[in-house]
Amino acid sequence: MGEGAMKATRKKDQKLQRLAGILFLSCACLLSACQFPFAGWHDGTKGKDRFTVTGFAFDTTYTLTAYQGGSQELLESCIAQCNKYEEIFSRTREGSELYRINYLQRLYGKLVKERKDGKHRLEKGDAGKSSAAGEAGYQKLLMGQWDTKGEIPSFTIDRKGRLQVELSDTLAELVGKGLQYSKLSQGRFDISIAPVSQLWNFSGTVGTPPAAAEIQEALKLVDYRQLKLSDHTLTYQKPGMELELGGIAKGYIADRLKEYLLDGGVASGLINLGGNIVCIGRKTEKEAFQIGIQQPFGDRNETIAAVRGDNNSIVSSGAYERYIRTEDGKLYHHILDPKTGYSCENNLLGVTVLSQRSVDGDGLSTTAFALGLEAGMELIDSLDGVEAVFVTSDQKLHYSKGFEAYLIQL
């Protein structure tokens, strides 16, 4: 073999070794979430000094690994933390706090509609007027028809017929964050999308969209501006509105787990919540973690880019992780436009966001995707400490101003 051929072979082998260092992790849905990192990691350790725990929550498998500091017991205690958050944030888990609040609103919306249609009367007195009798009548009906698991949430109905629900500290914090990103995106990210998103079924790759009339009816209940959060009290301006927090919940939980592990003495570690990646410190003192960004619609081991993970978060939103195709070949993906009720159509396949906090990466990746390349990039470039890469339908990569500093040459 000639010297030139030998050099080419060594170069190829070195690239294969680098690619082999990026192990890809399957991604799954959290509470009908819109965040799907095309991500994996390479730890570069032999495993003798690290601790790992794997569990299942949020409809996905999660893995927590400590490389420096901590203990197996510390990581195992995170399982209880994950279960606790699922009992608060899950839209689909019967009995969770969010499930019960959504159920209450759904029931209230049904009762209001039935009264307007003349299907029932309350009690003595006119509930259509701003009267104490009307408020008490609705509250009595709601409590009497409560038939789901778990206690009925603490609520009142004011004189304007608005349902007011008391939230726990944790749920109030996340709802506040969701409203923040709903406002930042001017409604392209909207935590009141639940009435529409629950019409869609992205559990397989073949399917049909909901009926247009159903979508149009559900859209009447989608508008984050009709939600008012004051301290721990959430007021719904419209009966029947429901919340979907999947777009930011995994990031919020990952941030809380990172704080918990840092307090427990972990100096280097990785958190993977169904693909949401949070790096605690670095892999070693001199070397960062390697996070792979998957090729859209490619196999799990096909990478389109790789970035450094250095005490930061890497979160993505993609059009290809959860989608259906109709018999005529049209593709619908899970990132829905709150204005139309259908998938966002903007020539994007995915957005990956690097940030310090994972909850920001969650909110921004979906927001940037929904805004599209131009407006989404403008938003990212306006924020300090946040970078992103956009993947367009022609498989081209578009970087924010400082993103290339994080790229790893493969």
β-sheet bridge partners, residue 318 = 350
Give the mean model confidence (pLDDT) for residues 339-345: 95
pLDDT of residue 300: 62
Q: Identify which has the larger pLDDT, 198 or 135.
A: 198
CB atoms within 10 A of CB 178: 27
Give the 3-state secondary structure of residue 216: helix
User: Residue ranges of the domains in the chain?
Assistant: 21-90+247-406
- Pick 331 or 261 by higher pLDDT: 261
Amino acid identity for residue 340 in this structure: T
Q: Rounded mean pLDDT of 384-406?
A: 95
The confidence score (pLDDT) of residue 76 equals 94
Give the pLDDT score at 13: 45
Predicted confidence (pLDDT) at residue 6 exceeds the cutoff of 60: no
Identify the residue with better confidence: 149 or 89: 89
* Distance separating alpha carbons of residues 138 and 136, to the nearest angstrom: 6
- Contacts of residue 361, Cβ cutoff 8 Å, sequence gap at least 6: 35, 251, 276, 313, 314, 315, 353, 354, 355
Q: How many residues does the chain have?
A: 410
User: Which residues does 124 contact at the CB level (< 8 Å), separation at least 6?
Assistant: 133
Question: What is the pLDDT averaged over residues 179-195?
Answer: 95
- Mind giving me the DSSP string for 102-116? HHHHHHHHHHHHHHH
Q: Which fold has domain 21-90+247-406?
A: T-fold (3.10.520)
pTM, full prediction: 0.84
Least confident of 19-33, 50-64, 210-224: 19-33
Residue 34 is predicted with a pLDDT of 34
